[in-house]
């Protein structure tokens, strides 16, 4: 503003009016942008809530219908990772990172009676690792925040499934009894090998549900464009 001050002292009044007009117009554009972003973020939050509810229901289905161990691979074909990824990419709220954790916690609490009836614990030492690995999906989503490219989104879904596979199975091996998987590199490799069918199901679920979630959201923006909350000055 030093140049503006010099112009004022030299009688450059029109210059001051020009700056004021430009600032007013710029503020109008900023206000329009903020209003649109707020509208889009609110819509994304509603979609996150809907997808999170779907993920909770999906986790309950095997217990509601008493599916046996033969369906265990299908259980990994789940939308929890995709919900975390979608929240990280599309929802501006700081609560986006906690969305997959909330899905897991709520579903665990609802599964409690079913697991107790079968003599299984609801929570274990693996629970924080599972929650952290699902939170990583949202963190990965933050890396491509705002992206609409199917390649970026698909790549992020693959990265999410890969980190989940590597982290959870490493923890399973490291915290094991040493009998199922030997406490050696060979035992770790065996653990990862045995988990490959689960990885395939996880990756398939992440890709399929990510495509569904991002596709539905994009369609909603196309059919019902975001409204500008503030008009230009």
User: Does position 227 have pLDDT exceeding 70, yes or no?
Assistant: no
Higher-pLDDT residue of 181, 64: 181
What predicted TM-score, i.e. pTM, was given to this entire model? 0.79
- Could you give the CA distance from residue 141 to residue 97 in angstroms, rounded to a whole number? 9
pLDDT tens digits, residue range 68-111? 766 666 678 999 999 999 999 999 998 999 999 999 999 999 99
Average pLDDT estimate for 179-207: 95
Domain 28-223, classified CATH 2.130.10, yes or no: no
State the Rg of the chain over Cα: 25
- Could you give the CA distance from residue 121 to residue 113 in angstroms, rounded to a whole number? 10
Residue linked to tokens 């691979």:
73
- Could you give the CA distance from residue 8 to residue 3 in angstroms, rounded to a whole number? 9
Please classify residue 213 by burial: count the beta carbons closer than 10 Å to its beta carbon, then call 0-12 exposed, 13-18 middle and 19+ buried: buried
């Amino acid at each position: 503003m030093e140049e503006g001050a010099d112009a004022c002292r030299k009688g450059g009044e029109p210059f001051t009016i020009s700056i004021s007009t430009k600032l007013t117009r710029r503020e109008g554009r900023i206000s329009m942008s903020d209003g649109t972003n707020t509208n889009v973020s609110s819509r994304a939050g509603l979609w996150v809530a809907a997808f999170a509810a779907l993920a909770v229901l999906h986790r309950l289905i095997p217990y509601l219908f008493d599916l046996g161990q033969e369906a265990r691979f299908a259980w990994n074909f789940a939308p929890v990772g995709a919900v975390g990824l979608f929240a990280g990419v599309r929802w501006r709220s700081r609560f986006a990172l906690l969305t997959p954790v909330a899905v897991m916690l709520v579903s665990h609490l609802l599964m409690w009676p079913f697991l107790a009836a079968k003599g299984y614990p609801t929570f274990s030492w693996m629970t924080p690792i599972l929650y952290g690995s699902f939170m990583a999906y949202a963190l990965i989503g933050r890396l491509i925040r705002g992206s609409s490219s199917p390649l970026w989104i698909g790549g992020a879904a693959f990265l999410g499934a890969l980190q989940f596979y590597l982290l959870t199975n490493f923890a399973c091996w490291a915290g094991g009894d040493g009998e199922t998987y030997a406490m050696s590199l060979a035992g770790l490799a065996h653990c990862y090998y045995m988990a490959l069918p689960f990885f395939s199901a996880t990756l398939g679920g992440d890709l399929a549900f990510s495509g569904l979630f991002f596709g539905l959201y994009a369609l909603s923006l196309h059919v019902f464009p975001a409204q500008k909350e503030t008009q230009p000055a």
